[in-house]
């Protein structure tokens, strides 16, 4: 499996490649785009983009020099006709630079890219919210070569899609930056923090009620109150445990490291690290974490050993046990059992002794 | 989507909105022909009240929508369609026996049936097959997933796919109070590429929510017969369901693998931002995995004018109280 990591500036490229990334992805907001359409409309991340096409060309060259591929993100939920025409110009220029793939979500743009830039690899963004094989086949018919699965998918579903569409590469989330709502079904802005931020983190007070107008019983009201408290705990995990890290800089938050053996068995082609707008140190630590666990899997360690290694990495056993930090919480039980077994088993090889 | 920095300029407070706003903008009367009403329900019942006389319908709409002016506007037109199922949750599809019963009851009431379908996991695709088999030739299936649309084209060509509102992506953030965001809030149906995609999977009708800051042009440029949802727009939906957290403790309480006892059919929440100095443009509520906002009276007046001008072929109204 390949490790796919985000960049927002040129000096991240060599470091992430050295740390073990196989592919990188970036956005770009040329000044003309920002002037015509606003900076936020190119790819949903106003603060995480390369500033110009010249910088993009340099990024492509640097990536290839460091032995990694670079994909360009054009994944707004929807583009106007004028924006699609402009995006096609960007894609043509990017192809001339030697760029490797465009990540897109709007099916209209995907169709337009396939027709207008025929040699270009198209990766379907997670924002497309495609989580079945028939949808994957349609995108493949339109010209896509890879499908990035949405965050909210189970391992069984991912494996089923990969098996059903074997000629389409499948990429799955592995680390960082959870969303609450499905990206493709969230029609809101990430407002500046002072005005509320992402809507899922905004401070909404919930007044529960029966839809038919009956009053809530005290018992149900108490259950709803407990559920709201649990939801707020889950939300903290979903948003990277308050964007905390270990002392070594390893990020807490949405994670699928324990699921790497299952993702490998399921025919997943690439593992996506999210967080284009994050600091370089976070990206670097993230790539190292995934590299370490993926290497263990690829050199043939047992799934139980890989899971235990993943659990011991930060370590974050207490967080892991909640399941709230997991992209694939269905493996929590298996990972817990693997770690308990490892703790209570004698070492498989004798410890070295000194003479 | 992310905010342009110009939003840092706080907009002026919007006029009061929602059911309690006063006085509501006058609604142009519904024309007697040229527009149809579809009623959407997860678990259809009380169809007889929908198909009775105007006063009974007015009472039904008033109880369901909590807006007397809107109820009076809708009541003269007898609904002709029933949309059953769910666009938002894979756990709210009807069982085949339920759908068969609904088809019979709707037929007796003189209503055509369409099936609402959500974003589809592989399991949903499997669950849809026996439902498709029950639908009569020509029945509409509202699709919110391109995979479902392709499946209909390939395996059920006698059913009519309709592009649902989840496929119509546009900005609908209820916290925005400034019309400067109206341009990016437009629908994308006019795109030639989008139209080719519709043709490719056989889509012949489209549905949308009302845009923010709806204006005279909001419903223009749609190349196919248009259905518009009222009085609620969906703001965002998850696969994870906050309400379903009531159903199970443990690591998968808010996980994508769905499990619940359909708690959302009985429960909802009014949501309000606990933030000083904000003045949200739209009333919001949360049902299951979805946040909705309620249109302002002014937006409904724009919709009524678009209906009168023949730009909207169908109004889609929830038949269950949110």
- The number of CA neighbours under 13 Å toward the Cβ of A220 is 13
Q: Where are the domains of chain B?
A: 33-168+188-233+295-318
pLDDT for residue A326: 94
Query: Does residue A129 contact residue A184 with C-beta atoms inside 8 Å?
Result: yes
**Residue B275: its pLDDT value, please?**
64
Closest chain A residue to B243 measured between Cα atoms? A227
Distance CA A55, CA A11 (A): 11
- A226 and A279 in a common domain: no
Q: Supply the pLDDT for residue B276.
A: 62
Number of other residues whose CB lies within 10 A of the CB of residue B216: 11
Q: Is B148 in CB contact (< 8 Å) with chain A? A: yes
Burial of B279 (0-12, 13-18, 19+ CB in 10 A): middle
Residues of A in contact with B4 (CB under 8 A): 38-41, 46
Per the domain annotation, does A75 fall within a domain? Answer: yes
Instruction: Tell if the CB–CB gap between B235 and A324 is shorter than 8 Å.
Output: no
**% helix, strand, coil for chain B, step of 5:** 30, 20, 50
Kindly give, in sequence order, each residue whose CB lies less than 8 Å from that of residue A59, ignoring residues fewer than 6 positions away.
A7, A10, A13, A26, A50, A70
Res B25: pLDDT: 61
Residue B2 bridge partners (DSSP): A190
Q: Which helix (H) or strand (E) holds B129?
A: helix B122-134
CATH of domain B33-168+188-233+295-318: 3.20.20.70
Contacts of B321 in chain A (CB under 8 A): 211-213
Residue of B nearest to A140 (CA): B147
Contact assessment for residue A76 and residue A46, using Cβ atoms and an 8 Å cutoff: no
Omega before B148 within 30 of 0, i.e. cis: no
CA distances from B175 to A152, A190, B68, B276, B285 (A): 25, 11, 25, 13, 13
pLDDT at A78: 87
- Checking if the pLDDT of A16 tops 80, the result is yes
> How much of chain A is helix, strand and coil, in % rounded to 5?
50, 15, 35
Residues of B in Cβ contact (< 8 Å) with A133: 122, 125, 147
Q: Which residues have C-beta within 8 Å of that of residue A171, sequence separation ≥ 6?
A: A4, A123, A146, A147, A148, A149, A268, A269, A270, A271, A272
Verify that A281 and A322 share a domain, yes or no: yes
Residues A109 and A144 in one domain: yes
Residues 61-100 (B) with a CB less than 8 A from some CB of A: none
Closest CA of chain B from A327, distance in Å? 8
What pLDDT does B184 receive? 57
Q: Which CATH number does the domain housing residue A22 bear?
A: 3.20.20.380
CB-based contact (8 Å) between B286 and chain A?
yes
Count of helix runs (H) and strand runs (E) in chain A: 14, 10
Question: Is A85 a residue whose pLDDT tops 80?
Answer: yes
Please count the CA atoms within 13 angstroms of the CA of B52 that sit on its side-chain side: 11
Kindly state the percentage of chain A with pLDDT values over 70. 95
A278: containing domain = 2-187+242-344
The answer, yes or no, to whether residue A351 has pLDDT greater than 70, is: no
Instruction: Give dist(CA A134, CA B132) in Å, integer.
Output: 16
pLDDT tens per residue across span B290-320: 999 998 888 889 999 999 999 999 999 999 9
Residue A73: strand, helix, or coil? strand
Closest Cα in chain B, distance from residue A157 (Å) = 7
A291 pLDDT above the threshold of 90: yes
- Asked if A225 and A311 sit in the same domain, the reply is no
- The CA-atom distances, in angstroms, between A49 and each of A29, A142, A224 are 6, 27, 41
For chain A, the domain total comes to: 2
Contacts of A125 in chain B (CB under 8 A): none
Which residue does chain A place closest to B275, by CA atoms? Answer: A203
Q: Are A59 and A17 in contact (CB under 8 A)?
A: no
Interval A34-55 mean pLDDT: 80
Distance CA B84, CA B113 (A): 7
- Note the pLDDT tens digit of each residue in A295-320: 999 999 999 999 999 999 988 888 99
A258 domain-assigned = yes
How far is B2 from B4, CA to CA, in rounded Å?
7
Same domain, A231 and A96: no
Instruction: Say which residue, A85 or B282, is predicted with more confidence.
Output: A85
Mean pLDDT of A30-55: 81
pLDDT along chain B (322 residues), means of 10: 40 42 63 90 91 93 94 95 97 97 96 98 97 98 98 97 95 78 67 93 96 84 94 95 93 86 96 73 91 90 92 96 94
Contact A212 B7 (CB under 8 A): no
Pair (A140, A207) in one structural domain: no
DSSP summary character for residue B85: E
**Which chain A residues contact residue B247 at CB under 8 A?**
none
Is residue B22 within 8 A of residue B16, CB to CB? The reply is yes
CA atoms lying within 13 Å on the CB side of residue A24: 35
Mean pLDDT of A201-219: 94
More confident residue, A10 or A38: A10
User: Does residue A354 carry a pLDDT above 60?
Assistant: no
Question: How far is the CA of A36 from the CAs of A30, A32, A175, A287, A296, in angstroms?
Answer: 10, 6, 34, 36, 48
Measure the CA dihedral B234/B238/B241/B243, to 10°: -20
Chains A and B form CB pairs within 8 A to the count of 265
State the complex-level ipTM: 0.92
Query: Chain A contact for B270, CB < 8 A?
Result: yes
Q: What is the mean pLDDT of residues A52-65?
A: 97
d(CA A9, CA A56): 10
Task: Supply the pLDDT for residue B286.
Answer: 96
At residue A248, the 3 state secondary structure works out as coil
Q: Please check whether residues A74 and A172 belong to one and the same domain.
A: yes
Residues of A in contact with B265 (CB under 8 A): 211
**Quick one: A89 and A11 in the same domain?**
yes
Query: Which chain B residue's Cα is nearest to A323?
Result: B251
- Same domain? A282 vs A175: yes
The pLDDT value given to residue B296 = 85
End-to-end CA distance of chain B: 27
**Residue in B186, B286, B322 closest to A206 by CB:** B286
Report the gap between the CA of B204 and the closest CA in chain A (Å).
Answer: 17
Of A51-60, A234-243, B183-192, the one with minimum mean pLDDT is: B183-192
A275/A307 same-domain check: yes
d(CA A32, CA A52): 9
């Amino acid at each position: 499996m390949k490790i796919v990591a985000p960049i927002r500036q040129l000096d991240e490229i060599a470091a992430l490649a050295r740390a073990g990334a196989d592919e990188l992805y970036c956005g770009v907001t040329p000044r003309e785009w920002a002037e015509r359409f606003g900076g936020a409309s190119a790819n949903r991340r106003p603060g995480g983009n390369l500033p110009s096409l010249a910088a993009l060309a340099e990024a492509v060259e640097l990536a290839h020099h460091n032995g990694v591929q670079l994909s360009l993100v054009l994944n707004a939920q929807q583009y106007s006709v004028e924006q699609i025409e402009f995006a096609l110009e960007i894609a043509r220029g990017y192809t001339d630079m030697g760029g490797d793939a465009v990540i897109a979500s709007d099916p209209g743009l995907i169709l337009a890219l396939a027709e207008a830039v025929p040699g270009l690899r198209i990766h379907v963004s997670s924002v497309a919210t495609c989580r079945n094989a028939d949808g994957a086949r349609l995108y493949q018919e339109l010209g896509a070569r890879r499908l990035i699965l949405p965050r909210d998918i189970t391992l069984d579903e991912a494996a089923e899609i990969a098996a059903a569409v074997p000629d389409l590469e499948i990429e799955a989330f592995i680390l960082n930056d959870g969303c609450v709502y499905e990206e493709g079904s969230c029609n809101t802005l990430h407002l500046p923090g002072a005005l509320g931020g992402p809507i899922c983190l905004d401070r909404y007070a919930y007044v529960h009620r029966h839809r038919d107008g009956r009053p809530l019983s005290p018992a149900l009201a108490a259950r709803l109150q407990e559920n709201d408290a649990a939801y707020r705990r889950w939300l903290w995990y979903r948003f990277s445990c308050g964007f905390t890290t270990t002392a070594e800089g390893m990020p807490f938050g949405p994670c699928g490291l324990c699921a790497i053996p299952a993702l490998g068995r399921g025919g997943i082609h690439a593992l996506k690290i999210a967080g284009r707008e994050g600091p370089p140190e976070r990206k670097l630590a993230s790539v190292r974490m995934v590299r370490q666990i993926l290497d263990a899997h690829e050199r043939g360690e047992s799934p139980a050993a890989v899971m235990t290694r993943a659990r011991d990495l930060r370590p974050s056993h207490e967080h892991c046990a909640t399941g709230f930090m997991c992209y694939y919480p269905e493996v929590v039980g298996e990972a817990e059992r693997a770690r308990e077994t490892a703790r209570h088993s004698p070492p498989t090889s004798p410890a070295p002794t000194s003479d | 989507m992310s905010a342009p920095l110009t939003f840092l300029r706080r907009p002026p407070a919007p006029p009061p909105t929602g059911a309690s706003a006063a006085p509501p903008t006058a609604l142009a009367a519904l024309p007697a022909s040229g527009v149809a009403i579809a009623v959407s329900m997860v678990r259809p019942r009380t169809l007889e009240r929908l198909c009775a006389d105007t006063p009974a319908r007015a009472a039904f709409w008033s109880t369901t929508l909590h807006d007397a002016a809107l109820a009076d506007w809708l009541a003269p037109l007898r609904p002709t369609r029933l949309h059953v199922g769910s666009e938002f949750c894979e756990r709210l599809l009807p069982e085949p026996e339920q759908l068969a019963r609904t088809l019979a009851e709707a037929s007796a009431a003189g209503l055509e049936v369409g099936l609402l379908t959500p974003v589809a996991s592989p399991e949903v695709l499997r669950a849809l097959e026996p439902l498709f088999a029950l639908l009569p030739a020509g029945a509409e299936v509202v699709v919110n997933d391109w995979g479902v649309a392709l499946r209909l084209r390939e395996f059920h060509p006698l059913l009519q796919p309709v592009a649902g509102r989840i496929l119509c992506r546009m900005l609908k953030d209820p916290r925005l109070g400034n019309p400067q965001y109206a341009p990016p809030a437009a629908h994308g149906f006019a795109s030639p590429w989008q139209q080719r995609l519709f043709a490719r999977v056989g889509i012949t009708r489209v549905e949308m929510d009302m845009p923010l800051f709806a204006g005279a042009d909001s419903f223009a440029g749609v190349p196919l017969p248009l259905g518009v949802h009222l009085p609620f727009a969906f703001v965002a939906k998850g696969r994870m369901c906050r309400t379903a957290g009531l159903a199970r403790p443990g690591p998968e309480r808010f996980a994508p693998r769905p499990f619940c006892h359909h708690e959302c059919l009985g429960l909802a929440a009014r949501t309000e931002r606990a933030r000083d100095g904000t003045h949200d443009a739209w009333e919001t509520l949360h049902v299951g995995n979805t946040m909705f906002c309620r249109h302002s009276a002014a937006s409904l007046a724009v919709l009524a004018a678009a209906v009168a001008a023949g730009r909207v072929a169908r109004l889609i109204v929830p038949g269950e109280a949110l």
